[in-house]
Amino acid sequence: MPFSEAAQRELQEIIQRYPDKRSAMLPALAIAQREQGYLTPEAYRWVAEALDTSPTWVASVASFYTMLRKEPAGRYLIQVCTNLSCSLLGAKPLLDHLRQRLGIDVGETTPDGLFTLTTVECLGSCATAPVMQVNDRYYEQLTPERIDEILAGLRREAGTCGDDRTAEGHS
């Protein structure tokens, strides 16, 4: 899948901002992820060519960041915070609840391709713990019942509206 004209333009514009092209590596990877949903060797080559470096180097940098996805995600990427505040307020049971409801383990995607479940370190919203993030949206002060509601809502949304963007990049 080739990269869009817009992405090319955006990348070139970002490169202009840095004295050393390679400094634009992370924004470039974020663009690539937004374009394709996740990063492929093709994306590494695209970035490497634009930044005048080796694809291996780009892949190496990408592998450092867990928010840069190396596998396709489901339509809804659920990230559950398991850091201190959330864990104190019951993130672990909530995670188990999610696992049971979705029938998948952490890091997996449901067979219908709707949900991918991951854990994440601190979403920066400790005041409203426990927290999870679905794509770009926060869901706070969670309880098992609230999770069921959210899942039902997301399923409804997936059923009704057409092509919504999935698993956005988090730049």
Partner 1 sequence: MDQSVTLKIDGRDVTVPAGTTVLEAARMAGIEIPSLCNHARLLPAGLCRLCLVEIEKVRGLQPACASIVREGMVVHTDTPAVQHNRRMVLELLCTNHPLDCPVCDAAGDCRLQDYVFRYGRTTSRFVEEKRRKGKAIRLGPAVILDQERCVLCQRCVRFCEEVLDDRQLAVFQRGASSRISTMPGAVFDSRFSGNVVDLCPVGALTDRTFRFKARNWELTGLPSVCALCPVGCRMTEEGREGRLLRVRGREAPEVNDGWLCDLGRTGYGFTEHPNRLRHPLVRRDGHLEPASWDEALTALARGFGAVIEKAGPRAVAVLGSPRLTNETAYLLTRLARALGTGNVDYRLGTAAPAPAQATLSDLRQAEVILLFQGDPSEEAPILELWVKQAVKRGGRLYIVHPRTLALERYATGAYRPRPGSEAVLIAGILSMLEQGKPGSLPLEWREAVSGLGPTQVASLTGCDREAIRLLAEALVGSPRAIIAYGAGLRDEQTLALVAALAKATGARLLGWDGGPNSRGVADMGLLPDRLPGRAPLADAAATAALERLWQAPLSCQPGLSATELWPEMRRGEVRALYVAGADPVTQAPNPQLVEEALAHATFVAMQEAFLTPTAERFAHVVLPAAVPGEEDGSLTNLAGGVGWQRALIAPLGEARPSWRIVADVAKALAAPGAWEYADAAQVLAEIAQAIPAYAGVEVVTTGGYFDARYEYEYALTDQPPAAPAPARVAGTGDLALTTGPVLFDRDIMARHAPGVVGRAAEAFAAIHPEDAERLGITDGAPIEVRGLFGALTLKARVSGACAQGTVFVPEELSELSVNRLGAQPGVVVMVEVKPLAVRPD
User: Structure tokens of 90?
Assistant: 């019951």
Helix and strand element counts for the chain (H, E): 7, 4
Indicate whether 138 belongs to the interface with partner 1 (CB under 8 A): no
Q: Would you say 122 or 134 has its CB closer to partner 1?
A: 122
Q: Which stretch binds partner 1 (CB under 8 A): 52-60, 98-106, 114-122, 143-151?
A: 52-60
Convert 108-140 to b/e letters by CB count within 10 Å (16 or more is b): ebeeeebbbbbbbeebebbeebbbbbbbeeebe
Give me the least distance between CB of 58 and partner 1, in Å please. Answer: 8
Cβ contact 94:142 at 8 Å = yes
Give me the least distance between CB of 170 and partner 1, in Å please. Answer: 17
Give me the least distance between CB of 82 and partner 1, in Å please. Answer: 17
Indicate whether 3 belongs to the interface with partner 1 (CB under 8 A): no
Of the candidate residues 23, 57, 104, 168, the single one contacting partner 1 (CB under 8 A): 57
* H runs (alpha helix) in the chain: 5-16, 25-36, 41-51, 55-64, 84-88, 91-102, 144-160
Residue 56 Cα to chain centre, angstroms: 22
Of the candidate residues 21, 70, 97, 170, the single one contacting partner 1 (CB under 8 A): 70
Indicate whether 59 belongs to the interface with partner 1 (CB under 8 A): yes
Task: Please state, in angstroms and rounded to a whole number, the distance separating the CA atoms of residues 50 and 110.
Answer: 35
Give me the least distance between CB of 95 and partner 1, in Å please. Answer: 21
Rule CB under 8 A: which residues touch partner 1?
41, 44, 53-57, 59-60, 63-64, 70
